[in-house]
Amino acid sequence: MLEIIRGFVRLTWPRRCAACGEPCADAWFCGVCGPLVAPRDGPRCVTCDAALPTLGPAHRCGRCLERPPPFERAWGVFDYAGPVGDAVRRGKYGREIACLRAVARVAAAALPDDLRAEPPDRVVPVPLHPRRLRQRGFAPPLVVAHAVARALRVPLARRALRRVVDTPEQAGLGDTARRRNVRRAFRAQGVDGLDVLVVDDVLTTGATAAAVAEALRRAGATRVRVLAAACVDRAP
């Protein structure tokens, strides 16, 4: 009987592709968008995960060699371009939380092997300021963090970080402006002696990740890594 009900629901309210909105069967992405949802590959910086033209001896990009970030490692599971980027934008700016849940689930299913081999003690989502949270109604990083914590089977510490400064949106800002925008914007607690994985929906310049990592370090975290569902590739 349950399968009959499920079949009726699928026929009556077909699932929509998280990227393009077209009807699809049981998948989160349709037959056109689905094959394009693949984890990033190619040579990457072993610190910030930025794309590298070739895998050199240092395996680090020029930015990380010049200004080492306060986190040990960052990963972006998918490229922000293509269907994943479309789904994130529909979720964040179109307020279609189901699209973000789709991204979160496919990202959690494709976590880096290094992270699975050495899981953290806690998963910590990048927080929104309370005013922004009220305005949007949900926190995109928290949606992703829930799925990642379940996949890694580690606790989700959603209150370990607070955004204490209501910063403007990072979109449209350059690297220097982004760093200035989020400087001292976060406070952390309850992470003393812990290995922490920070989770965000999108990794762009790494400015927010660095500010969060600094706050966690000040609160006593012994190790900070960063994971985002999608990454915006920049020139090395």
Q: What domains does the chain contain, in order, with CATH numbers?
A: 1-36 (no CATH), 43-231 (3.40.50)
- Model confidence at 137, in pLDDT bands (50, 70, 90)? confident
Residue with tokens 């629901």: 9
Residue 202 to residues 141, 205, 223: CA-CA distances in angstroms? 8, 10, 21
At how many degrees (to 10) do helices 82-93 and 97-108 cross? 140
- pLDDT, residue 202, reads 95
pLDDT tens readout for residues 68-83: 999 999 999 999 989 9
For 203-236, letters b (16+ CB in 10 Å) and e give bbbbbbbbbbbbbbbebebebbbbbbbbbebeeb
Spatial separation of the C-alpha atoms in residues 18 and 102, rounded to whole Å: 7
Residues 6+ apart with CB under 8 A from 81: 233
**Beta pairing, strands 223-231 & 73-79:** parallel
Which residue spans within the chain are E strands per DSSP? 15-16, 23-24, 73-79, 122-125, 161-163, 186-188, 195-203, 223-231
- What is the mean predicted confidence (pLDDT) over 178-195? 81
pLDDT beyond 60 at 6: no
Section 30-43 average pLDDT: 91
Average pLDDT, the chain: 85
Q: What is the pLDDT of residue 183?
A: 63
The pLDDT assigned to 3 comes to 40
Strands 161-163 vs 186-188: parallel, antiparallel or unpaired: antiparallel
pTM of the model: 0.86
Instruction: Give how far Cα 79 sits from Cα of 50, 115, 160, Å.
Output: 11, 18, 28
What's the pLDDT band for 43 if we cut at 50, 70, 90?
A: confident
Average the pLDDT over 167-193 and give the result.
Answer: 68
Helix (H, G, I), strand (E, B) or coil at 76: strand
